[in-house]
Structure 1
């Protein structure tokens, strides 16, 4: 009976689980039965959602929340977490990200262990204890009514351009396609003209890198916005100015430690709302393709409740 009464502070209802078996190139595929069994130890029914595409995954999460799920758990990388977040953002349904992908930035930046079994242990304990803590999300909107939530980082510079190039390429397959896209775009590298509005402050600048972070890292541990805090109600904006190819390649490894912000061509800002525009740029959020510029990004305090 204790398992029933311990959930006073969380919605009742089953735990819905979204799992991406191909996350992290499938290296955690065999773990899923063990993770589901561990989650069942919280004393709630556990329901595995069925989906064969990112669109289906997002729709399944939204349907589960609408049908009265008491919690949503996403087993996968940042892409899987991104789909699940669209369903729980702004609701009372608590969320648990289980890092099982190539990039697990949101889960790790919000304090979950990098090991999936350990992360499920944290989530199960929180479910059993009826415990969830609020964390901010960023809300991305477009002039024509487009709307997405994200937890980690929006990329709108060189990295977004490389992603867009890689997604258009049919060959080669796998990680080498991304490497080739980097080479192609490095050869074409030029600063773009950006218009930035940070709360009420306007900036026009030439830049190669632009990132808007709710959390610090993207791309599997690159600390592009090293001081971003997903509980401070603010967005961190990091802009890398007129880099040439050689300087960019020298600075890029420093992003893993977050020391690139000390470079004289890098500027960092903080704001509650960010309006961003430049010609010919498609944004990526949590590694997923989002909207063409212009966009507006707002920090939304306590937009999601994490099982932690």
Structure 2
């Protein structure tokens, strides 16, 4: 254990390729801001997601006084796996394209202002607690997430896009969306909310700790990362035409007013369906079934 006068180094995970590298030039300034606190700053070596996750976990286990992740939602997501429930302060610096989790927490949306805010929090020892979601699969594997779990149409589109070799870049997702819209059909789900079982057919299922995914789509608009609960949005037996019509409303969160869209709130959500791989914080995760539990105050945020 370190004496109180030695809070431990600030471990920093940098992803210069996030957001297609558009914030790469800001990263030296990010490190300069953090070093201006007088704290030891250690940049974690990593050339892959697996290496990044291992480096974050090792840093926390070795006594890091804080962990800072600079990158997109995927980079932030990796950092969460290491600090969730530990009490180690976490700083999130947005350098991706969507940055949904950071924006929903009310943090600065650009790298240098975010680094300045984290540096100030380090100097002042300023933190706040926010909720995370803890997901467990059928084999007992655990993953934490901060934003949204997708387990319907959007997850299916991601699966198709990730299998495609052509076209490259964002157009791949456009092609995948069209292909899956042509195949759109409601699927049977079992949803268990705090022990109460619901059987339903749906094309869209999302579980949110915060409101947004996909770069500003307010899929779970009422989600609050400080209330100790998860919000669930289910789009039921929507036709292709109805689904296409409500999709633009997701950016404002007004899709929940559609008669075939249902919302729920619970501390624990069990989700079962055949042939669905979930995505959390935009990252491929566990196949269903999964159990998601709200973890109040599991993240100690530098803010």
The answer, yes or no, to whether TM exceeds 0.5 is yes
Q: Is the 8 A contact 2:87 2:298 kept in 1?
A: no
Partner of 1:43: 38
Residue correspondence of structure 1 range 27-176 to structure 2 within 5 A: 27-176=22-171
Note if 1:232 corresponds to 2:227: yes
Query: How many angstroms does 1:116 deviate by?
Result: 1.3
Describe the superposition over 1:212-269 as per-residue Cα deviations: whole angstroms up to 9, x where unpaired: 0000001111100001000100000000011111111111111011010011110000
Whole-angstrom CA distance in 2 between matches of 1:280 and 1:114: 36
SS in 1 for 2:269: strand
Q: Is the 8 A contact 2:131 2:228 kept in 1?
A: yes
Whole-angstrom CA distance in 2 between matches of 1:199 and 1:99: 34
282, 287, 290: which one aligns with 1:295: 290
Whole-angstrom CA distance in 1 between matches of 2:76 and 2:238: 32
> Structure 2: where are the runs of 5+ without partners?
none
Partner of 1:217: 212
> Structure 1: where are the runs of 5+ without partners?
none
Partner of 1:269: 264
Describe the superposition over 1:164-188 as per-residue Cα deviations: whole angstroms up to 9, x where unpaired: 0001111111001111110111111
Whole-angstrom CA distance in 1 between matches of 2:37 and 2:212: 31
Q: Which runs of 4+ in 1 moved over 4 A?
A: none
**With structure 1 as the length reference, what TM-score do the two structures score?**
0.96
Partner of 1:190: 185
SS in 1 for 2:185: coil
Query: How many angstroms does 1:200 deviate by?
Result: 2.0
Query: How many angstroms does 1:118 deviate by?
Result: 1.0
Whole-angstrom CA distance in 2 between matches of 1:41 and 1:139: 35
Whole-angstrom CA distance in 1 between matches of 2:201 and 2:97: 32
User: Over the residues paired in the alignment, what is the CA RMSD in angstroms?
Assistant: 1.2
Corresponding pairs, count: 301
**With structure 2 as the length reference, what TM-score do the two structures score?**
0.97
